[in-house]
Amino acid sequence: MRLAGLVDALRSEARRTNERRAIVLAGSREAGIDAAYSVIEAADCTSEAVSFVTTREGFRYHRLDPHHADELLGTTRELVVLDCHDGMSANTLGQLTGAVDGGGLLVLLTPPMASIPTQLETLVDQLLAPPFDRKAVGNRFRTRFVETLRTHPGIAIAAVEQHDGSLTVSIERDGLTHPAVDQELSPSMPLVRTDTPFPAAAFENCLTADQVRAVAGLSGLSEPAHAVVLTADRGRGKTSAAGLAAASLAAAGRDVLVTAPTFEPTEPLFERAVDLLARLETLEDDSGAHCLRTTTGGRIRFLPPSDASDHASEVDAAIVDEAAAIPVDLLTRFLAAPSVAYCTTVHGYEGTGRGFAVRFRDRLAADSKSVTDIELTEPIRYARGDPIESWLFRTLLLDARPPVDQLVDGASPETVAYRRITQTELASDEPLLRSVFGLLVVAHYRTDPSDLVRLLDAPNIEIRALDYAGHIVSVAVLVREGGLDAELRAAMYEGQRVRGNMLPDVLTSQLRDEFAAEPVGYRVMRIATHQAARSRGVGSQLLARCHEEFADDVDWLGVGFGATPRLVDFWAENGYRTVHLSITANDRSGEHSALMLRPCSAAGHSLTARHTGWFRERIGPMLSDVLSELDPAVARATIRAAGPPAVDPLDSLSERDWQTVAGVGYGPGTYEAAPHVFRTVAIAYFLTDATVLSDRQERLLVRKVLQGEPWQSVAVGLDYASTSQCMREMGAIARAFCELWGDEVTETERQRYDCS
C-alpha cells in the first residue's frame, strides 16, 4: 500500500466511525517532514484545519512551537502534525492529541522506531540535572512510547527514507481497526428541558443529551446555597456547558464570576456565552473579551483565581473552571459565593480531577450548600471508544489511580513495610507503576504527564514507599540536589540557572550563599499518602524511614511547596525548618513557596542554621513590605517553623522597652509610641511554643504589628465590633506578654496602675 492509499483508508475509517487515527512517520527529520506534506495533501484538509507543531520555521500551514502546544487546548483540528525530533514532551503529546477532531489524523514524526529509545534527545534535555550527565538519563519512557505505538489499535507506522531528494515509504503497520459496526457520526440529539429557569435556547445550543443534562444541573446556580461539581474527560463539552449556564444567568440579570488558572481554558465558555446572549438579544455592545454585559444588568467577567476569590462573596454565582489545577485552600474560598460551580477535567494536563475530588470533597461536605454532582461521559468531538484516546491514556497513564480504599483501610505506621522502588521495577511492573503514579496524581494538583517521564528516567530520583498487604499506601519521590563543583557554584551565584537543583539554586542565587550548593541533599519533590490512610501518621512514618536511610549519606533533606498553615505544620512536626518564603505568590495557586531543611550532617546543620538565622532576621521587615498581604496564619506558621534562635531576640530589649509594653498593657500607653518594640516581641513570641494568645489575637499581632495594616482594616478583617475594641485588644496582648516574660520592671508598672 502506498502512503496516499494508507492515508485515504485511515481517513475513511476515521470518518465512518467518527473516531481518530494516527500515523507514525519514522525516519530522518527531513524525510518525515516531506512525508507529512504528502499525508496532508492525501488527507484533503483545508489549510485552516491543519496544525504543524515543530521548532522548524517556514511552513505554509499553521505552525506552532511545541512549547506553545497548550494554545490548541479547547480547539479542534482535522490533522495535527507533531515533530517529535525536537521540542517534544509528554505534556505536548497529550495537549495536541486532544485537539484532533473525530474523523481526523494525528501524525507523529519520529526517528526510526528501533532508534527512539536512544534518540528523542529533547526528553533527555528535560531530565538533565548536574552533576549527572546525559548517559545517566534513562530511556524507559521512550521504550514505553515505542511499545504502545507498535501494539495499539488505530496507529499506522510508516518507515520513511530520503535518498537524493527522493522519498521512500515502507508501510510497517496499517493501523486499520476494521470495525464491524459503524458508530454514529453525530452525538445523541439533545432534548429541551422545561423544568429549569434557563431559557430553551440554552438547551437548543447543546450538542449532546449529556450536555443538556449538565446545563440543567448548572441551573441550580440560579438559587443561593447551591454548589455544582461538573467533571468530564477532555472533549466532552464541559466548558461550553458552563458558558451556556453563565449566559443564562447573566441574561436573567445575575452577576457571574468566572475563574481558571489562565484565561485560555475559558475561551470556549465566553464564546458560547456570547452566542447565546446574542441569540437572546441581551448582549451589550460594550462587552469585551474578559467581561460580557447584558441589557438586563447581568455580567460575566473573568479574574485569575487569587483575585477572583477575594470577590466571591460579592457576586451572584462563581464558576471555577479547571478546578483541579487550583489548590484546595484557594478553591475553598469560592464557597463564599452564594452559589458556585466547580468544573474540572478528570484526566487533564493542568491537574487531575481525581485529586480534586478526593482532596476537596471534605471541604465541600462541611459547607452548608446543597451539592449536585454531574459527570459528562459522552464525547463531542469523536465517538466513544476512540482508539487514539485509549492509546493516549495508556501511554501517559492518564487513568492511573491508587488502590481502592478497602485494600488499604487497615494501614497504619505499625502495619506498613518500608520499601525501595527502582525505576526499572516501575517500568517492568505496570500495576505497580499505575499504583504509584495514581497516588501522586491524586495527591498533588500539579502532577502531569511529564512527571511520568521524570519518574521513570530522571537520573537524580529515588523512590521510597510504604506497603500494606502488597499495596502501595504512601510514596515519596526524592530528588538529589547539591554536591556541585566550585565552577558551577560560582556560575549559580552569578545568576546561572542550574536544572534539577531547586533548593541550592534559591539559596545560592537569591539568598546569596555561595556555599549553599556544596552540601548534598535530597529534596522531597512529592509525597503522597492514600486518602483512606491519611491522618494516621503514615506520611510521617515514611519521612522518618527516609531520614533513617539517607541521614548517613547526605547533608540535608529538604522540601519546597506552596505554603499553607497545615502543610508548614506537617513539615515542622517532621523536623524541617523554614529557610525561605518567596516574596511573590504563585499566579495559579495564590500561595507563597516555602523552603524547609532538615539537617543530617555537620555541613547540613551549618547550612540550616545559617539560613534559618537569616530568615528570622529578614522576615519582620519583609512582612511590613513585600509580604504585607501574606495570610497571617502562613506568616506565624513559617516563623514558628524556623525554630528557636541561638540568641533570644528579647535580649535586645531594654528596661525602658519593657516599661513601654507594660504601659500599653496596664496603663495609658499606646502601641504607636513604640511599634519597633512590639515587632521584636511578636517575632520572639512566634519563635516559641507559647500559646497564651488566642487565634484572633495572633492574627492581630501579624496584621497590625508585623504587616503594618491600618487599625480600621484589621478590625473589619478580624470581625471586631469597632476599631476601638480592636485597639484595646492590643492591651490584652501586651498584658499576656508581660505575664509570659515580665520581671520586676513590668511588675512595678502593673502595681503603679493598681492592676490585679
Query: Residue 417: what pLDDT?
Result: 98
Nearest in space to 745 (alpha carbons), one of 648, 677, 673 = 677
| Residue 743 to residue 756: CA distance in whole angstroms | 16
Domain boundaries, the chain: 3-173, 200-376, 405-641, 649-752
Query: Residue 444: what pLDDT?
Result: 74
Query: Residue 479: what pLDDT?
Result: 98
Query: Residue 102: what pLDDT?
Result: 93
Q: Which CATH architecture has domain 405-641?
A: 3-Layer(aba) Sandwich (3.40)
Half-sphere exposure of 513 (CA within 13 A, CB side): 24
Contact in structure between 464 and 546 (CB atoms under 8 Å): yes
| Residue 394 to residue 390: CA distance in whole angstroms | 6
Contact in structure between 505 and 593 (CB atoms under 8 Å): no
Query: Residue 186: what pLDDT?
Result: 47
Q: Hey, which residues does 521 pair with through a beta bridge?
A: 481, 556
Q: What secondary structure does DSSP assign to 503-561, as a single string?
A: HHHIIIIIT--TTTTSSEEEEEEEEEE-GGGTTSSHHHHHHHHHHHHHTTT-SEEEEEE
Residue type at 445?
Y
Same fold, 3-173 and 200-376: yes
Query: Residue 185: what pLDDT?
Result: 44
Phi, psi of 206 (to 5 degrees): -75, 150
446-471 pLDDT per residue, tens: 678 999 999 999 999 999 999 999 99
Q: Is the dihedral of CA 294, 298, 300, 301 positive or negative?
A: positive
Contact in structure between 268 and 279 (CB atoms under 8 Å): no
Q: What is the CATH number of domain 3-173?
A: 3.40.50.11040
Residues of the chain with pLDDT under 50: 184-187, 351, 756
Contact residues for 554 (Cβ-Cβ < 8 A; gap 6+): 480, 519, 520, 521, 522, 600, 601, 604
Query: Residue 31: what pLDDT?
Result: 96
Query: Residue 450: what pLDDT?
Result: 93
Q: Are strands 226-232 and 255-259 parallel, antiparallel or unpaired?
A: unpaired
Contact in structure between 609 and 585 (CB atoms under 8 Å): no
Q: Is the dihedral of CA 515, 520, 526, 527 positive or negative?
A: negative
Q: What is the CATH number of domain 200-376?
A: 3.40.50.300
Element (DSSP H or E) covering residue 461: strand 461-468
Residue with cell 461539581: 229
| Residue 586 to residue 564: CA distance in whole angstroms | 13
117-126 pLDDT per residue, tens: 999 999 999 9
| Residue 729 to residue 711: CA distance in whole angstroms | 11
CA 90, chain centre distance (Å): 16
Element (DSSP H or E) covering residue 342: strand 339-345
Element (DSSP H or E) covering residue 228: strand 226-232
Residue with cell 484532533: 100
Query: Residue 724: what pLDDT?
Result: 95
Contact residues for 310 (Cβ-Cβ < 8 A; gap 6+): none
